[in-house]
Amino acid sequence: MGDKKYNIIVAVAGNPNVGKSTLFNILTGKIAHVANWPGVTVERKEGEKVYKGRKIRFVDLPGTYGISATSLEEVIAREYIISGEPDVVLVLVDGTAPERTLYLPVQILELTPNVVIAITKSDLIHRVGIHIHVDKLEEILKVPVVEVSAIHGSGLRELLDAIIAVAEGRRRRKETLKIDYGGLEPFISEIEKIVRKSEILSEYPPRWLAIRLLEGDPRLEDIIRSRDGEDLLKNVRRVVEAVRRGIGKEPVELITTARFNYVDSVAREVVVRIRIEEKEGIFEKMVKHEVISIFVSSLLLISVFSIIFTLNSGFPLNLIFRLLGWMSIAEMLETYSIIGLMNELFNLLAGFLTQYLTELNTPSWLVSLLADGVISGVGSILSFLPLIILTFFLLSLLEDSGIAARLAYSFNSLLNKFGLSGRAIYPLVISLGCNVPGVLSSRAALEEEERVQIIISTPFVPCQARLIVILAFITTYFSSSIIQALVMFVIYLIALAIAMLTSLIIRRVLYGKSEPPLFLLEIPPIHKPSLKVVWWLTWDYSKHFLKKAGLIILSLSIATWFLLNYGPMGFATSPKDSFAAIIGKILTPFLSLYGISQEKAWMIGFALFQGLIAKEGLIESIAMLQGEGTSIKGALLALELTPVQAFSLLLLFTLYVPCIPTIASIKQEVSENKLVLIAVGLMLSIAIFLSLLVSTLLLWLWAG
Amino acid sequence: MVSDIHTTLEAVPPGKKARITGLDAGPGLATRLMQMGLTPGVEVEVISRNRGPILVKVRGVMIALSRGMAKKIFVKII
């Protein structure tokens, strides 16, 4: 049921780190369409190419090592291949590691004969001393094999020609690949007979089905059960039992080994490796020494975030310049921070619009809605965008260069202490930018338990929106820059400690596991990142922020405008008579626990509600409550907080709940309402308990 | 003299090579390990073995695995 608009549809499959994104990008030039795979939030990218009069659509499958359905990605890849939509499956083989990466095309060839193999990184192959006999490989596998280099753009025409030839039936294998499974063959044919008779899974090739069922495939078993195939499963189990008794080994081990033996035999015939002493780069050396590797990795992460923080707000470089006595540079950094400039821009814009619309005799409520509601709302999204993009750009640079895998390796031991594996470093670091993609990237975890730990604990990591709130408060309420830095440091430390402890407690208490999660990760060679791919990754992450946060922040701004400007009596002349004040007053008794006076409490109360929807809205709503023309600093000062109150409120603000979009992503990822409730309950109770505790303790110390 | 010691990958000293003889893992984990090239019969070179994860080279690819994982892989040192 392919799309009639396209002559040929190509599914692109490959291992992670095989250079798939780069090749996909070069082949298609641009991404034509990005959506999610049906029912899941794994991204589906499509691109198109017109070549020799044919419109070819490329569909990027998730990077997988196989199609055994051990992960969501593998299920997606397999079910798309079997769906009948793709005319050709293009499978990528890493030219620098053919022995391992030939496994995927062999596994796919058992499922469909319509395959083209591309050997990637052809520019690198010879340099590392590898020669691949392409013709021979074609002869053995009976499908076109093309060496390509995305960097040099070589081999792309041949690849497209091969794709067309297979799609149009000129160079196609007649049937799927049959690997000889030796002693297992009688068992395979027995299951094949059972499968053919039952016709429950007629869309799959019977032999492939038989092999998969023998290996054990939870996904297929689920499908069979959903089609009332209990009898079929019972018969299969009988055969599996017979193998276990007869051969004394697990069928899955026998089959994978046989498949790899076949791959090895093919590789022996087509791959020649000349031993070239591999030069060890600084990173290769680094990962070998644990202490050095943690040191270098931490340094790397700290520098990345120093760049981001500095461009964002001037901090912490401004502090360093101040200490060095270079006041003018420090001030320049503070004035020309991205957020500062963007805010300036939108204030100007709102001013112009107000003037222009007033001249046109537009009703004043509409002017106010557009200027104060819409522009300031859009402004608050856009002022974050450069920052978010920058954060993800630097992180994508780490990812595409192969450094990220080394970070994961380096941090494994440290994270083990908190019940996480090195793979968690990525979601944690991303969360410093924005919690939404942080929660989504929890999929990096191998174990379900670790994934849930990451999902529930990463929202405690202060994101850039919270950084803005923290910065606004500390620059208002603490005069010395040393104390400002100290307060900031303590808040980050507390928040990160809570994130780590939460993870550990969930693992120990909820799952009752005392040992750290298993860790398994390919460490790709360090390479120069492709800017195109980096941009692509950056855009992927940033989009989540834009789409989810964008719409919500915009509607929130309009809602806020309404709540602030209208009250039970209609249009409110002062915010005190507005709906906002009524909402804010709900929290007055709670805020009085922090010693905040009645007349100020409702503003903070309302800001807390606003902060639920988007943290940066917290500061804005305080500014809006003070009336137009109040600077953020002025508005915050008007709250008349003591330093102790400011600090404890900051803790509350940082910890209570990141934002609604983050909660929505948690829900999407855990799909269990109980866990969502646990997560939110945990955040609220920790935030309230800890900030009150700190407030009480500090006041007691102050008085004592 | 060829040493012929059966042990787990966790105990192989750095710089040494070993051949995988079997896996002691559930089906899901075993499949993952094997798809990454860690199949019975394959030769593995241990690159480094510090306090943290073990680094091995298998089928031309560098793989990091935790000690817990390495304990599930039976090998014969060669």
Q: List chain B residues with CB under 8 Å of A413.
A: 51-53
Q: Residue A629 — very low, low, confident or very high, per pLDDT cuts 50/70/90?
A: low
pLDDT recorded at residue A428: 92
A361 or A691: which leads in pLDDT: A691
Task: Give the least confident one: A96-100, A156-160, A540-544.
Answer: A540-544
Closest-CA distance, A288 to chain B, in angstroms, reads: 6
Mean pLDDT of chain A: 85
- Per residue in A659-671, pLDDT tens? 877 888 888 888 7
The residue written with tokens 């002062």 in the block is A574
pLDDT recorded at residue A290: 65
Taking residues A573-583, what's their average pLDDT? 80
Note whether B36 contacts A: Cβ–Cβ < 8 A.
Answer: yes
Taking the C-alpha atoms of residue A429 and residue A409, their distance in angstroms, rounded to an integer, is 14
In chain A, whose CA is at the least distance from the CA of B37? A100
Note whether A129 contacts B: Cβ–Cβ < 8 A.
Answer: no
pLDDT recorded at residue A164: 95
Task: Give the contacts of A512 (CB within 8 A, at least 6 positions apart).
Answer: none
Whether A3 contacts A57, CB under 8 Å: yes
Q: List chain A residues with CB under 8 Å of B34.
A: 252-253, 256-257, 260
Note whether B57 contacts A: Cβ–Cβ < 8 A.
Answer: no
Q: List chain B residues with CB under 8 Å of A100.
A: 36-37, 58-61
Note whether B13 contacts A: Cβ–Cβ < 8 A.
Answer: no
CB spacing of B59 vs A99 below 8 angstroms: yes
B20 pLDDT higher than 90: yes
CA-to-CA dists, residue A694 to A221, A690, A702, angstroms: 54, 6, 12
Residue (of A430, A447, A426, A429) closest to A507 by Cα position: A447
Taking residues B2-18, what's their average pLDDT? 83
Residue (of A84, A259, A238, A122) closest to A182 by Cα position: A259
Note whether B68 contacts A: Cβ–Cβ < 8 A.
Answer: yes
Note whether B32 contacts A: Cβ–Cβ < 8 A.
Answer: yes
Note whether B35 contacts A: Cβ–Cβ < 8 A.
Answer: yes
CB spacing of B52 vs A290 below 8 angstroms: yes
Q: Count other Cβ atoms within 10 Å, centred on residue A573.
A: 10
A3 pLDDT higher than 60: no
CB spacing of A68 vs B35 below 8 angstroms: yes
Nearest CB partner across the interface for A100, out of B37, B55, B68: B37
As a whole-number percent, the residues of chain A with pLDDT over 90 amount to 34
Note whether A260 contacts B: Cβ–Cβ < 8 A.
Answer: yes
pTM of this prediction? 0.80
- Per residue in A14-54, pLDDT tens? 998 888 888 888 888 766 666 777 766 677 888 899 999 99
Q: Residue A112 — very low, low, confident or very high, per pLDDT cuts 50/70/90?
A: very high
Closest-CA distance, B68 to chain A, in angstroms, reads: 6
Count chain A–chain B contacts defined by CB atoms under 8 A. Answer: 126
Which A-chain residues 554-573 have CB contacts (< 8 A) with chain B?
Answer: none
B70 pLDDT higher than 50: yes
Whether B7 contacts B21, CB under 8 Å: no
In chain A, whose CA is at the least distance from the CA of B48? A288
Q: List chain B residues with CB under 8 Å of A446.
A: 32
Nearest CB partner across the interface for B66, out of A68, A519, A523: A519
Listing DSSP states for B8-31 in one string gives: EGGGPPTT-EEEEEEE-S-HHHHH
Closest-CA distance, B52 to chain A, in angstroms, reads: 5
pLDDT recorded at residue A126: 82
Q: List chain B residues with CB under 8 Å of A218.
A: 28
Mutate to test the interface with A, among B39, B51, B71 (most CBs of A within 10 A): B39
Taking residues A637-644, what's their average pLDDT? 87
B2 pLDDT higher than 50: no
Note whether A521 contacts B: Cβ–Cβ < 8 A.
Answer: yes
Closest-CA distance, A65 to chain B, in angstroms, reads: 6
Q: List chain A residues with CB under 8 Å of B37.
A: 99-100, 103, 260
- Per residue in A480-517, pLDDT tens? 778 888 898 899 999 999 999 999 999 999 899 999 99
CA-CA-CA-CA torsion sign (B59, B67, A506, A436): negative
CB spacing of A521 vs B65 below 8 angstroms: yes
Tokens standing for residue A541: 């992450």
Closest-CA distance, B57 to chain A, in angstroms, reads: 10
pLDDT recorded at residue A1: 42
Taking residues A550-564, what's their average pLDDT? 75
The residue written with tokens 């994130």 in the block is A499
CA-to-CA dists, residue A381 to A192, A346, A396, angstroms: 57, 11, 22
Listing DSSP states for A625-680 in one string gives: HT-TT--HHHHHHTT---HHHHHHHHHHHHHS---HHHHHHHHHHH--HHHHHHHH
A371 or A138: which leads in pLDDT: A138
CB spacing of B64 vs A521 below 8 angstroms: yes
Taking residues A436-465, what's their average pLDDT? 89
pLDDT recorded at residue A495: 96
| Nearest-10 crossing angle of helices A385-401, A338-359 | 140
Note whether B24 contacts A: Cβ–Cβ < 8 A.
Answer: no
Instruction: Give the SS3 label for residue A167.
Output: helix
Q: List chain B residues with CB under 8 Å of A264.
A: 42
CA-to-CA dists, residue A592 to A225, A469, A635, angstroms: 58, 21, 20
Closest-CA distance, A167 to chain B, in angstroms, reads: 28
Residue (of A178, A138, A139) closest to A258 by Cα position: A178
Note whether A402 contacts B: Cβ–Cβ < 8 A.
Answer: no
End-to-end CA distance of chain B: 10
pLDDT recorded at residue A282: 64
Q: Residue B1 — very low, low, confident or very high, per pLDDT cuts 50/70/90?
A: very low
- Per residue in A211-246, pLDDT tens? 999 988 889 999 999 998 888 899 999 999 999 888
Task: Give the least confident one: A164-168, A365-369, B9-13.
Answer: A365-369
Nearest CB partner across the interface for B23, out of A65, A216, A253: A253
CB spacing of A290 vs B35 below 8 angstroms: no
ipTM summary value:
0.90
Q: What are phi and psi of A512, to 5 degrees?
A: 60, 35
Taking the C-alpha atoms of residue A164 and residue A176, their distance in angstroms, rounded to an integer, is 19
Nearest CB partner across the interface for A100, out of B27, B53, B61: B61
A385 or B2: which leads in pLDDT: A385
- Per residue in A282-323, pLDDT tens? 666 666 666 777 788 888 888 887 777 777 666 667 777 777
Which A-chain residues 85-114 have CB contacts (< 8 A) with chain B?
Answer: 96-100, 103
A398 pLDDT higher than 90: no
Nearest CB partner across the interface for A290, out of B32, B50, B60: B50
